[in-house]
Structure 1
Amino acid sequence: MSRIQTVRKSGPAIERRSIDFVPNRERHGKPFGQFTLWFGANMQITAIVTGALAVIFGAPAFWGIVGLFIGNLLGGAVMALHAAQGPKLGMPQMISSRAQFGVFGAVIPLILVIVMYLGFAATGAVLAGQAVDLIIPTGNPAVGVFIFGGLTVLVATLGYKYIHMLGRISTIVGILGFTYLAIQLFLKHDVGSVLGVDGFAIPTFLLAISLSAGWQLTYGPYVADYSRYLPANTHATKTFFACMSGSVLGAQWSMTLGALFAAIAMPAGKGFIDNQVSFVGDLAGGGVIAVLMYMVIVVGKLTVNTLNAYGGYMTILTSVSAFTRQLRFAPWVRFAYVIGFIGVSVIIALVASEDFVSNFKNFVLLLLMVFIPWSSINLVDFYFSSKEKVDIPALYDSKGRYGTWNVPALLTYLVGVLVQIPFLAQHMYTGPITPLLGGADISWIVGLLVTAAVYYPVAKRFNHPPAEMVYPADDEVSPDPAAAATAPVA
């Protein structure tokens, strides 16, 4: 077997690519890898907490679970549409934003994405650090945070292949661990007593939908980072459903457990929310079994934290490269950027007060309002305006087709952010229309629909996509767009 065939089959041991285009000769993998990655990334304790919030905020367990499922489906579909771009474009997700906003203009949402990554990495490190400290008692929770940060740096630095390997491990570990938790929950508690169908209320039902939809939408800015190595003729439908089913099933499983945990730990779910890691260990039965469950928590958080670190590194490089025009970076550069990123997140986790971490997390959740119009613009442009035709070399050239600043798109983006404000129902701010809806937050729906409606005619008027896909000249075997559309389903 030739070296090129070997690379194409499994990819290099340590990833060499960063934000540059992945040539067809280096593509490898199958769509099922998207399922295991996103299933494993969602089998984690923060997803459990998100499900618990639906009940804590007033939804009965049954209707909360139904609402969470609807939100996961809606948000997961949007997220998977971004994932389906990966094989076609062969680039990180946020690079493609230059086709909409311009090479410099795309830096605006990029900076906000970096803040989001840091927030989730910091709050995730706190929970995972607690679990590590329970596995290896040191008397100092900071040790657990440092160990977890070191593991994150290791996997994120090794890159794409090992991230997917971790996703497969997390899938197996999560299924075993969460199945055991579910069995213990039903054995030790009268779950049927909290699953009555009474108590339905539209505001809390919509809130449950918004919680899970927002969870899925958060993945939008970096989901294609993990599908970009798939062969270019991979059918988009296969990528879409592999990614969506993995993310929706993993998140729904975790959130359902969370809703039930909160319901049996009432009032206000405090028995779980106040001691999330310990609650899981106690439910597991304590002792060695509890330690195993703490390991399940660490593996799940490590998977998603690695995605945050890897995505954060790619986003920082994308921002920098807009001005330096550098396309390729050595592996040591990835290591340096990841070290810096994780270092900042660990510092936030360690030195911040408990109230600050809570408030910072709320701030990050509020930032979802800036990703929703970005997602709408990106999808409308790719699938409806440009019709999946992109000039890839021009994305790396500020003097190319897409220019520096796409002012009409940026103004539309601003409209998409502002239109959500009256409908927000966040800890930091509640919009004036929200009370009229019983406290339900529908800002994400408004943001998606209004931005799409405004942007489509703007794109038709001001954007000038290529007639066909334009690939780099050094891509030895440029994929045939027709082949991707007609690829057989395995």
Structure 2
Amino acid sequence: MATGTSPHTSTTSGEGALETRGIEPVPVEQRSGRPGQLFWVWFAANISILGLPLGATLVAMHLTVWQAVIAAAVGAVGSFAVVGAVSIAGRRGGAPGLTLSRAVFGARGNVGPTAVSLLSRLGWETVNTTTAAFALLSLATIALGTSPAAKDHPVLTVVAIAVFEALTVLVAGLGHAVLVAVQRWATWVFGALNILVGGFLVATIDWHAVAAAPPGPVGAVIAGVGVIAAGTGIGWANASADMSRYQAPSVRAGALVLSAAAGAGIPLVLLISLGSMLTAGDPALSRADDPVAAIRDMLPAWMAVPYLIAAFGGLLLSNHLSVYSAGLTTLTLGVRVRRVYAVVVDVVVTFLGAIYFILVADGFFGPFIAFISALAVPITAWVGVFVVDMLRRRTYDPAGLMDTGRTSVYWYRGGVEPRALGAWAAAIVIGYLFTTVGPSDDPWFTGPLAGTWFGENGLGWVITFVVGAAGYAALGGARDRS
């Protein structure tokens, strides 16, 4: 029997100080997690001060502050409700999301969605690492008086990257139990710093300019919802089951949805709203190449320090979750190592990527974020197919999930479930028809339907979801072979 787990499969619970379990399903008797744990996990992953630039983006779309608040609430809470819904599969099957996806796409057909997911995770981790390194370099500038240019201090830059990666491995490498505990307690520390910085920033808002801003059209608000949803919850949907696989079977589905929607929604709505208020008072923020640095420049040195620490901490908490998930996705892709080594492999990739983009490349944020944002289309297509499958599938065969050979119950036709893979592929093609890929001033690709209302308002991912879900359902998908 061919398996997708590591060569050192654990027979322990995997929930000690070091989680030794790989992607193999957690036995029912060893699942005792509660939704409250996931609330803190999602809260911690979204308390980064980097939510402020999202608010700046909404104001740049000509929304008023109140319209931005509505867009933030609907987009963030709604998209993380989808994250919570997908996490129900983790409670049912006790396995990571992309491992459960083998039951939907087939042992071989699942390679495509898994590879896309891993690329996306590694991409955002590189963004986190690069931005966090810049935050540490800014702290060094304040404390040591060094030049703010990273290329002037290559050794210091490498050290900054290494510190962030080491702190990431320390938690993500140890695994689920440690991650859940750290995310909860670190939330209070970095949440307090965010409140301190946010309170100071509120005092600098030009409330007259905020009140005088004319409202944007309804279409802009709808587009704003799409921007927030695509930039927050949608990217986490295929990682949600990775955290919920230890949830007790008795946990209600609604509690999982609420834990994700509220856990991520509360900090995101507050931070995005604050970002919109700051930008409404100072429109220059929406035109800044690096809005995070622009906000830092608004602060006196004594307040810039807690701001940068809060930014670093928020990025670290988000990276903990992303790297943990990437490690599991790497194992699902077929790399045969222990889970902790898979985490190390992923971190090495992002370490090298951060060094390149900071010390070698000229420019990074715009083009690179555009690239990984483009991956939202195939990820959303996966979500559409997977959610429809969940509506009918209540159980997963543990042995079948781990068997990637012809003997697997999820082998289907040559290792591929053609209806699922066909719907996924069709959704990707149609979604890109409505999508512009690349920086707005110099796009790499513009779909022939990007000039339509959906395309101009950045809602190609909605089309993708609908086509993936409806196509799979129309083909008679979600046949439960467990």
Change (3 A) 1:334 1:119: closer
Q: Give 1:352 deviation, angstroms.
A: 4.8
Q: 2:264 aligns with which of 242, 247, 256?
A: 247
Matched with 2:22 is 18
Matched with 2:430 is 419
Change (3 A) 1:333 1:143: closer
Matched with 1:27 is 31
Matched with 1:276 is 292
Change (3 A) 1:342 1:155: farther
Change (3 A) 1:370 1:332: closer
List alignment gaps of at least 5 residues for structure 2.
1-11, 147-152
Matched with 1:301 is 315
Matched with 2:42 is 38
Q: Give 1:444 deviation, angstroms.
A: 1.8
Is 1:259 aligned with 2:280? no
Question: TM-score scaled by structure 2?
Answer: 0.86
State the alpha-carbon separation in 2 of the partners of residues 264 and 352 from structure 1: 36
Matches within 5 A, 1:91-102: 91-102=95-106
Matched with 2:396 is 390
Matched with 2:301 is 286
Matched with 1:365 is 373
State the alpha-carbon separation in 1 of the partners of residues 77 and 344 from structure 2: 37
Q: Deviations over 1:162-190 (max 9, x none)?
A: 22123213421343223223322232222
Q: Give the RMSD, CA atoms, in angstroms.
A: 2.5
Q: Deviations over 1:151-208 (max 9, x none)?
A: 1122111111222123213421343223223322232222353145732223432221
Task: Report the count of equivalent residues.
Answer: 447
**Kept in 1: contact 2:49–2:194 (CA 8 A):** no
State the alpha-carbon separation in 2 of the partners of residues 282 and 198 from structure 1: 25
Matched with 1:480 is none
Q: Give 1:44 deviation, angstroms.
A: 0.8
1:269 partner SS: helix
Letter in 2 for 1:389: T
Change (3 A) 1:161 1:348: farther
Is 1:193 aligned with 2:209? yes
Q: 1:131 aligns with which of 135, 141, 145?
A: 135
Q: 1:317 aligns with which of 321, 325, 331?
A: 331
State the alpha-carbon separation in 2 of the partners of residues 44 and 242 from structure 1: 18
Matches within 5 A, 1:87-486: 87-137=91-141, 139=146, 140=153, 141-191=157-207, 193-195=209-211, 198-214=214-230, 215-267=232-284, 269-270=286-287, 273-274=289-290, 276-277=292-293, 279-280=295-296, 282-283=298-299, 285-287=300-302, 289-320=303-334, 330=338, 333-334=341-342, 336-383=344-391, 385-386=392-393, 388-397=394-403, 398=405, 399-403=407-411, 404-426=415-437, 427=439, 428=443, 429-437=445-453, 439-460=456-477, 463-466=479-482
Change (3 A) 1:306 1:352: farther
1:376 partner SS: helix
Change (3 A) 1:167 1:332: closer
State the alpha-carbon separation in 2 of the partners of residues 335 and 360 from structure 1: 22
State the alpha-carbon separation in 2 of the partners of residues 75 and 332 from structure 1: 30
Change (3 A) 1:348 1:56: farther
Change (3 A) 1:332 1:193: closer
Change (3 A) 1:297 1:113: same
Q: Give 1:435 deviation, angstroms.
A: 2.9
Q: Deviations over 1:375-402 (max 9, x none)?
A: 011110012x32x222222112232211
State the alpha-carbon separation in 2 of the partners of residues 419 and 320 from structure 1: 29
State the alpha-carbon separation in 2 of the partners of residues 101 and 238 from structure 1: 28
Q: Deviations over 1:435-472 (max 9, x none)?
A: 33282122122111222111113244x83423xxxxxx
State the alpha-carbon separation in 1 of the partners of residues 247 and 293 from structure 2: 36
Q: Deviations over 1:218-272 (max 9, x none)?
A: 001111111111222222221221122111112212211222232223136245x
Letter in 1 for 2:370: N
Question: TM-score scaled by structure 1?
Answer: 0.84
State the alpha-carbon separation in 1 of the partners of residues 309 and 363 from structure 2: 27
Is 1:53 aligned with 2:69? no
Letter in 2 for 1:264: G
